[in-house]
Amino acid sequence: MAKVLLLNGSPRPHGCTAAALEEMISVFEAEGLETELVQVGGKSLRGCLACGKCRELGRCVFEDLVNETAPKLEAAAGLVVGSPVYYGSPNGTILSFLDRLFYSSAFSKHMKVGAAVVSCRRGGNSASFDVLNKYFTISGMPVASSSYWNQVHGFSAEDVKKDLEGLQTMRNLARNMAFLIRAIQAEAERNGVPPMERGCFTSFPDGK
């Protein structure tokens, strides 16, 4: 059974972001997908030090939730990252977590389906949505879309439940994501996944 890993970047495990993710989980389960929700927000997580030890160890030098989550992502066919908006950007904890998770894990994320979900009271959703999608698009991960940008509005979980269009967007996103996961897995079984070229690294040394 294919699995979707969901990350809640909000420090409130039952807040606005959770309400959006829970709407998706109900659809994933109806679609026959396994789900696991990891609570990232509220944890004490530091940012990447650029120490490079992960290239030697195959994991982050700091033993915390990042290393606990890495094998779960490796086993998953899809990843949903949820975050509230803080000053027009995703929560700082989820950004530190994602920087370290994506950089320190040696396994390929190629063809895992990604989706970002953001919540705010009023503004900043689009900018935050853009930031989170970049983790997927640098990793060869197809990005699932919906009937609107993947966002909900509200100051509380109860408010989000009144955002009928936002919840509809979450359900459509989950259905599209489930479809993409099944389609990619079926094609991979028949013909494999597209090759990913590596080796070119443009740095223009000495100003040339």
pLDDT mean over 91-100: 98
Question: What is the model's pLDDT at position 203?
Answer: 84
Question: What is the model's pLDDT at position 208?
Answer: 53
Question: What is the model's pLDDT at position 207?
Answer: 57
Is 70 exceeded by the pLDDT of residue 4? yes
Quote the Cα angle for 77-188-38, to 5°.
Answer: 5
Find residue 114's DSSP bridge partners: 79, 143
Read off the pLDDT of residues 101-114 as tens digits, 9 standing for 90 and up. Answer: 999 999 999 999 99
Read off the pLDDT of residues 133-149 as tens digits, 9 standing for 90 and up. Answer: 999 999 999 999 999 99
Q: What is the pTM of this model?
A: 0.95
pLDDT mean over 20-46: 97
* Residue 102 near residue 108, CB atoms below 8 Å: no
Judge residue 171's burial from the number of C-beta atoms within 10 Å of its C-beta, 0-12 exposed, 13-18 middle, 19 or more buried: middle
Q: Which structure tokens are listed for 144?
A: 């699932």
Question: What is the model's pLDDT at position 128?
Answer: 98
Check: CATH 3.40.50.360 for 3-207?
yes
Quote the Cα angle for 62-8-169, to 5°.
Answer: 145
Distances (CA, A) of 187 to 33, 156, 174, 190: 18, 41, 20, 5
Share of the chain above pLDDT 70, in %: 99
If we measure between CA atoms, which residue out of 74, 75, 7, 3 comes closest to residue 32? 3
Read off the pLDDT of residues 34-86 as tens digits, 9 standing for 90 and up. Answer: 999 999 999 999 999 999 999 999 999 999 999 999 999 999 999 999 999 99
In the chain, domain spans? 3-207
